[in-house]
A = this chain, B = another copy of it.
Amino acid sequence: MKSTQLTIKDIAKSLNVSISTVSRALKDHPDISQETKDLVRNYAEKFNYRPNVLALSLRRQRSYSIGLIIPAIVHHFFSSVISGIEELAHKEGYNLIICQSNENQYREMINLQTLIDHRVDGILVSLSKTTQTFEHFSEALNSGMPLVFFDRVCEQLEADKVITDDYEGGRIATEYLINKGCKNIIHLAAPQNLVIGRERRNGYCDALRKAGIEVREDRILKCDTREEVQTLRNHILNLAPDIDGIFVVNDSTAIAVIQVLQQNGFRIPEDISVIGYGDGPNASIIKPELTTVVQKGYEMGRESVKLLLQRLNNPAADINYQTKVFKPTLKIRQSA
């Protein structure tokens, strides 16, 4: 923070007018004479006066900044969400304070507190994988802090939410595999404490049932990272000869699985069809190119900000909480 920044007080002194006159002149208050306005504004312009946002926020009881709690910045999906958020937020005059939970509930709680301490006007959050309790959020909500959850939301909490219809995503992916003729489809799932994990899985299960295929617990593996694919490598390879389809909860895991299978002589999609989830840039780099469920990160980011702004601009109006649902689509490439 630069201490040598020009203040309204400095201007007042130099111009021999009162502080309030300067303040009013700067904001084009009708009471001020054109003459004084010009005087003040020229001076301000000349010496590059810039209002102190901190002081403004304190005074206005509104910081014009919004907070973001995100599990991990480096995932393409999340970074595209950030991009969408940043874009709209800045356009609307808000700035963005970003915190990373690193998939850790404790960090998430700290993040939340940090943002509250900074008196952000509202908070956007996508839950960490390890988050099991939600008091921190319900407290914030009760204290009046506007909260919008996106992607990884919390069912038990009443709040604004932006999601993709993950059940539908799981369903269309699995149905596509079934229509392709797959009979033995496994699912690599996200942790089941996450709604997205449950929903995608439910979509998978229901599609199977609808097709008269038995849902087998031993064909659903908790596996949603590249690293886990390595850990479960042998298990997956044991399963491989008996299966003809895999629905994977995200792209990077799907790609890791394809690589492992290919290294062991399985042909994709001839032997086994694989479908991912996300449609990041990797999806069209892997050979065969990945068939995957499209998730619109950038748009979800923007939508989250929209919902938040709506609430900020109607603080009194007790709008009912909204859930904006994006319909997932299947991007068909080569892997299935």
Instruction: Please name all residues of chain B whose beta carbon is closer than 8 Å to the beta carbon of A53 when the two chains form the complex.
Output: 117-119
- A300 within 8 Å of B (CB atoms): no
Q: Is the CB of B95 within 8 A of A50?
A: no
Complex Cα distance A58/B52, Å?
9
- A interface majority secondary structure: mixed
Q: Is the CB of A82 within 8 A of B86?
A: no
Find residues 49-105 in chain A having any chain B CB closer than 8 Å to their own CB: 50-55, 57-58, 61-63, 65, 72-74, 76, 79-80, 82-83, 86-87, 90, 95-100
Task: Indicate whether A145 sits within 8 Å of B54 (C-beta atoms), given known contacts A96-B98, A252-B281.
Answer: no
Q: Is the CB of B51 within 8 A of A54?
A: no
Instruction: Please name all residues of chain B whose beta carbon is closer than 8 Å to the beta carbon of A239 when the two chains form the complex.
Output: none
Q: Is the CB of B286 within 8 A of A1?
A: no
Q: Is the CB of B73 within 8 A of A79?
A: yes
Complex Cα distance A4/B98, Å?
24
Task: Indicate whether A54 sits within 8 Å of B119 (C-beta atoms), given known contacts A3-B61, A97-B96, A144-B4.
Answer: yes
- A322 within 8 Å of B (CB atoms): no
- A22 within 8 Å of B (CB atoms): no
Find residues 111-135 in chain A having any chain B CB closer than 8 Å to their own CB: 113-114, 116-121
Q: Is the CB of A100 within 8 A of B119?
A: no
Q: Is the CB of A52 within 8 A of B119?
A: yes
Complex Cα distance A51/B53, Å?
18
Q: Is the CB of B1 within 8 A of A54?
A: no
- A255 within 8 Å of B (CB atoms): yes
Q: Is the CB of B72 within 8 A of A63?
A: no
Q: Is the CB of A79 within 8 A of B87?
A: no
Instruction: Please name all residues of chain B whose beta carbon is closer than 8 Å to the beta carbon of A27 when the two chains form the complex.
Output: none
Q: Is the CB of A1 within 8 A of B63?
A: yes
- A320 within 8 Å of B (CB atoms): no
The 5 closest A-B pairs by CB, nearest first: A1-B119, A79-B79, A74-B79, A54-B58, A53-B117
